[in-house]
Structure 1
Amino acid sequence: MRLGHRLLLGAALFLPPRLTPRRVRDSRHYRTIDQYRFIGWFLAAPLVVYLVFVVSPFVQAFFYSMTDWTGYTAEYTFTGTANYERMWNDDKFWEALRHSLLLLVFAPLITLSLGLFFAFMLNAGGRRRGGQAVAGVAGTRLYKIFYFFPQVLSIAIIAVIWARIYSPRSGVLNEGLSAVGLDSLRQNDWLGGRFAVWCILAVLCWSFVGFYVVLFSAAMSAIPHEIYEASLLDGATRPVTFFRITLPLSWGTVRTGWIYMGIQALDCFALVSIMVPEHGMDVLPSYLYDKAFRDGQAGYATAIGVALFAVTLLFAGLMMRLARRERIEL
């Protein structure tokens, strides 16, 4: 098919039939285009909005990352790859990146593991009753409400509450350690030293595990009970049921949740900026914010943003690739 004819076919997707050239309407490909014309018109406006407000800022970010723009004036000078060279030699950037990658690895692993465990217990961890193949623990609905409760709180409220818990003077954590005779484990600065990233990790997992309990519970409840009944007749134990039935049939939801939780781990700016004292610990978003708004180095901050975009895109691509499995038909 010639290039000109292909361009006319593409244009026919957005043209009404009376304005479409006859030689295009006579083409066998036009019938398929005619079916999708309405979809093309329906998606045209959202696509334009997406290009203007989502894609365009990304393109601008790549451009401004190669300038010395301060962010406070309209003047800037094109500097090429100078910001990226500076970033390569910036020890604080690499430290922030290390913290972000640590959260990226452990936050999804811990949160999704807990979410899967609690969801399985709520859906299939109780005693079998009434001839049911599987049954959840007693009070399942109440447990779901308790698990999901952090999701109804603002992340700022969560950060303030946990900052008080980690407080070295009157925090619940230090006082609790003293109450059980573990004074040697008390810390004078939970959020300013080597424990800061682990404290943030704990809060991040706590705040999101309830969401995944509900998400995975919905996925597990869609699994036909006949499959569990067949496994029960074969003498399968709960661990075998989980790894051979529940997890494979919920894998699509697990993969999506892993990507979503990874993005949340990379974007924990609010927790770090509210909980951690200045210079106590940085992740990529908080380091970007400091460079842009505290130091007036918007060009360099944009380069850090490009690096964060690359890490996020690489993570999502790897997860889509490594976690891909053949679809299991129920």
Structure 2
Amino acid sequence: MMRHGRYPFIVGFLIVPVTIYVTFVIAPYLQAFYLAMTNWRGVSANPKFIGLDNFQRLLQDDIFWKAIRHHGVLLLVLPLVAIAIALVFAFLLNVGGGSRGGTLRGVWGSNFYRIVFFFPQVLAVVIIGVIFRRVYAPDESGLLNGLLGVFGIDPIPIMADRNIALFAIIAVLVWQAVGFYVVLFSAGMASVPKDIYEAAVLDGAGRASMFFRVTLPLLRDTLQVAWVYLGIAAFDAFAIVQVLSIEQGGPDGATTVLGMEIYRNAFSYSQMGYASAMGVALFFVTITFAALTLRVSRRETIEL
């Protein structure tokens, strides 16, 4: 009887959140798939169905492919740099202080450093963009150019230089992301029995050996999660580009991303159908990346 009565309870418990999720997540996705095959401009109640014309147009759109290339750069640089920095910091905060009293500890003040590293996570993305607009200001009032001026270097128009603007945005994304992954990797290291680290110390392993031969192999599952999350972040970046770049993805499209082009086509050009096609393309690119990453990095769990 208890088993029979369990299912109505589960259904009653889930019906409200599932209904909300279907209404506000699944339904808009399905609507976007439909609008991607229309010429809807955001006004007509009965948009004309045009099939795959919007997707054919995407294949011939230079701006679309430029945005895809920028996502490729983001996908290559952002996860590698953010994960590398976060791993080093997490290692130092957890076991980098060496052995004291027979116990491995983090560097002095590690609890304070955790708070400092995590601080960017409590700031809204728009606020971060506004802060770095002042950091990257093209005259000596900007923090970066002010420091360069101390050494007699002329101001650099960072966000107006098409060769470095995208990497300046990547630097902001890394700065924002590192704190979260320091906490994530710290949690992963905390789950590793200290006996393993202490045994490595007794065997004469230095910090570098412990990092590469002990920490990295045991954190592989956590690294997989971090790589997927940062990869998905690399396919977004809209808010930072919108606030920080000049001319919404400029100069001359040097920092544009698909999210920026979706926004521009939808709200500047009133091409809702074409913007929806871009959104569908972004959806499939992101899902494909996540699926391939999980597939390639899948392995048997290490038993401790």
From 104, 128, 144, the equivalent of 1:158 is 128
Residue in 2 aligned with 1:59?
Answer: 30
Partner residue, 1:244: 213
1:290 corresponds to: 264
Is 1:316 the counterpart of 2:285 in the alignment? no
Normalising by structure 1, what TM-score? 0.84
TM-score by length of 2: 0.91
CA shift at 1:46, angstroms?
3.0
- Aligned twin of 2:280: 306
Partner of 1:73: 44
What RMSD, in angstroms, separates the aligned Cα atoms of the two structures?
2.0
Q: Give the equivalent residue in structure 2 for 1:204.
A: 173
Determine the structure 2 residue equivalent to 1:143: 113
- Report the CA distance between 1:200 and its aligned residue: 0.4
**Structure 1 unmatched runs, 5+:** 1-16, 18-30
Retained in 2: the 8 A contact 1:192–1:276? no
Q: Give 1:99's match in structure 2, choosing from 59, 63, 70.
A: 70
Counterpart-to-counterpart distance in 1, 2:194 and 2:61: 56
How many correspondences in the alignment?
298
Aligned AA (1:158): I
Q: In structure 2, what is the Cα distance between the partners aligned to 1:193 and 1:257?
A: 29
Q: What is the identity, as a one-letter code, of the residue corresponding to 1:214?
A: V
Superposed CA deviations along residues 59-97 of structure 1, whole A, max 9, x for unmatched, are 111111010001133231111111011111010111111
Alpha-carbon distance in structure 2 between the residues aligned to 1:152 and 1:46 = 26
Worse overlay, 209-218 or 229-238: 229-238
Percent identity of equivalent pairs: 47
Name the aligned partner's letter for residue 156 of structure 1.
Answer: V
Measured in 1, the distance between the counterparts of 2:230 and 2:65 equals 22
Letter in 1 for 2:180: F
Q: Give the drift of 1:298.
A: 0.4
* Kept after mapping to 2: 8 A contact 1:192/1:277: no
Q: Decide whether aligned partners of structure 1 residues 115 and 191 sit closer, same or farther in structure 2, where only a CA change above 3 A counts.
A: farther
User: Which residue pairs with 1:5 in the alignment?
Assistant: none
Residues 61 and 302 in structure 1, CA contact (< 8 A), matched pair in contact too: yes
The alpha-carbon distance between structure 1 residues 250 and 318, as it changes in their structure 2 partners (threshold 3 A), is: same
| Secondary structure at 1:128 match in 2 | strand
Measure, in 2, the Cα distance between the counterparts of 1:72 and 1:329: 59
The CA distance in 1 between the partners of 2:260 and 2:46, in whole Å, is 25
The answer (yes or no) to whether the contact 2:132–2:172 under 8 Å persists in 1 is yes
